[in-house]
């Protein structure tokens, strides 16, 4: 039993037919238009099954299901266009103030018994000094690399 059933109005069907036969525009839009036309369950639609549509247009069944859901929930325009990708902004683990403290620590004299700082030693010392609760050596490495500071 399908949860999202495609029932196109006469205007929507006409718009999709015109789009599918125009030959101008992105290929994904033509495919989506043809899929929606074949999935149409209204009186004038062919009401193909998802499996048949999948085979006919060389897409997965999941693609057909997602397209049906998008049409029902968001409308025809959203179903024909691609979704915008929103990249997550990386969380800053160290702000400018902590970065300055880390650089000052890296530039200071290495602990007794050590000839120089290591990334792991810097990370452990940064936590011991109470600047952060925890920090990875990779975060220390990225911060030092960004400031072009070398431990060698």
pLDDT tens per residue across span 118-134: 999 999 999 999 999 99
Integer Cα distance of 148 and 137 in angstroms:
16
The whole-angstrom separation of Cα 90 and Cα 71 is: 32
Q: How many CB atoms are closer than 10 A to CB 77? A: 9
Q: What one-character DSSP code corresponds to residue 53?
A: H
Domain ranges of the chain: 10-80, 96-146
The candidate with the shortest Cα–Cα distance to 67, out of 97, 28, 95, is: 28
Other CB atoms within a 10 A radius of the CB of residue 129 amount to: 10
Q: What global pTM score does this model have?
A: 0.57
Position with higher pLDDT, 92 vs 79: 79
pLDDT band at 22 (very low <50, low <70, confident <90, very high): confident
Averaged pLDDT for residues 81-90: 77
Contact 24, 33 (CB under 8 A): no
């Amino acid at each position: 039993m399908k949860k999202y059933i495609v029932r196109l109005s006469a205007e929507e069907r006409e718009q999709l037919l015109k789009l599918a036969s125009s030959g101008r525009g992105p290929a994904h839009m033509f495919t989506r238009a043809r899929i929606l036309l074949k999935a149409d369950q209204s009186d004038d639609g062919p009401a193909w099954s998802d499996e048949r549509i999948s085979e006919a247009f060389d897409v997965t069944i999941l693609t057909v299901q997602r397209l049906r859901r998008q049409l029902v929930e968001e409308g025809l325009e959203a179903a024909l266009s691609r979704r915008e990708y929103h990249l997550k902004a990386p969380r800053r683990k160290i702000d400018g103030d902590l970065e300055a403290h880390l650089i000052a620590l890296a530039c200071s004299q290495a602990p007794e018994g050590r000839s120089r700082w290591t990334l792991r030693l810097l990370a452990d010392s940064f936590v011991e000094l109470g600047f952060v609760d925890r920090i990875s050596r990779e975060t220390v490495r990225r911060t030092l690399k960004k400031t072009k500071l070398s431990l060698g």
